[in-house]
């Protein structure tokens, strides 16, 4: 069951980790970061840099996530997922050791309007407890603590070097483009931002539910 213990958001923003687990924050805010390779296909040339803010509000039975993106190319379509892994380091640089995004959950479409603005909300289990598993495939319970969205059409990223003949599976038809923006791991815990309650076990951190 989900719990309602409060902790000032400032402690999480500072990356504080003590011996005991965090109390669960009622709300978190974090940014998504553009993929450097596809930045020029995401925003308007010579215009302001694309940005995306995520607000997640903890509920008693489930949570609400609100995504607000700005300065996108007008009328571009995207697909938002919660995912196991990010390909970026905590400083926003591409992780040279990255292998794949791992387990991914399709959550919603995201559509930029004529001004390059987009806003969407979802309501589901998110903070600290989001996971999937498949015993038949040997997949143990696996958390998806990162958030990212993908170009819906492969052609929208072709000018940035993406080959539309080799699409990714990140849309409803499994013929999407590359990742456009994604969350960063916590510098201390290396966990995604949907984990607000980390706990150290041995040499690594896990999310305390």
- Over residues 134-158, the pLDDT tens digits come to 999 999 999 999 999 999 999 999 9
Question: For residue 169, is it within any domain?
Answer: yes
Structural domain total, the chain = 1
pLDDT tens-digit readout, 7-31 = 333 333 334 343 334 467 899 999 9
Residue 201 is assigned to a structural domain of this protein: yes
Q: Does 55 reside within a domain?
A: yes
State residue 24's pLDDT score: 74
Separation CA 104–CA 52 (nearest Å):
20
In which domain, by residue range, is 74 found?
9-207
Residue 132 in any domain: the answer is yes
**∠ Cα 186 35 169 (to 5°):** 100
pLDDT, one tens digit per residue, over 182-193 is 999 999 999 999
13: which DSSP letter?
A: H
CATH number for the domain including 183? 2.60.40
Residue 124: inside a domain, yes or no?
yes
Q: Quote the pLDDT of residue 90.
A: 97
* Confidence at residue 146, expressed as pLDDT on a 0 to 100 scale: 98
Residue 208: the pLDDT is 78
Residue 118 lies in a domain: yes
pLDDT, residue 56, reads: 98
User: Is 35 part of a structural domain of the chain?
Assistant: yes
Q: Which residues of the chain have pLDDT under 50?
A: 1-22
**16-20: long-range contacts, CB 8 A cutoff, minimum separation 24:** 17/188, 17/189, 17/198, 17/200, 17/205
Residue 142 lies in a domain: yes
- The pLDDT assigned to 23 comes to 60
Dist. CA 150–CA 152, nearest whole Å: 6
The dihedral built from the CA positions of residue 208, 179, 113 and 30, taken in this order, carries a sign that is positive
Supply angle C-alpha 104, 151, 73, rounded to 5.
140
Write down the pLDDT at residue 13: 39
Average pLDDT in the chain: 90
């Amino acid at each position: 069951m989900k719990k309602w213990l409060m902790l000032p958001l400032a402690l999480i923003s500072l990356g504080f980790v003590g011996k005991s687990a965090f109390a669960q924050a009622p709300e978190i805010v974090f940014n998504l970061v553009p993929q450097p390779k596809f930045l020029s296909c995401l925003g308007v040339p010579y215009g302001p840099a694309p940005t995306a803010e995520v607000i997640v509000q903890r509920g008693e039975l489930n949570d609400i996530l609100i995504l607000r993106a700005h300065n996108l190319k007008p009328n571009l379509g995207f697909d938002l997922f919660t995912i196991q892994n990010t390909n970026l380091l905590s400083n926003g640089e591409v992780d040279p050791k990255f292998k794949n995004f791992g387990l991914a959950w399709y959550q919603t479409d995201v559509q930029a309007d004529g001004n390059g603005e987009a806003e969407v909300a979802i309501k589901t289990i998110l903070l600290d407890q989001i996971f999937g598993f498949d015993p038949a495939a040997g997949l143990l319970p696996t958390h998806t603590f990162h958030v990212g969205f993908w170009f819906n059409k492969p052609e929208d990223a072709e000018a940035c070097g993406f080959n539309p003949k080799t699409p990714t599976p990140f849309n409803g038809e499994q013929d999407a483009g590359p990742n456009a923006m994604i969350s960063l791991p916590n510098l201390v815990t290396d966990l995604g931002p949907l984990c607000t309650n980390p706990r150290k076990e041995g040499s690594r951190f896990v999310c305390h539910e």
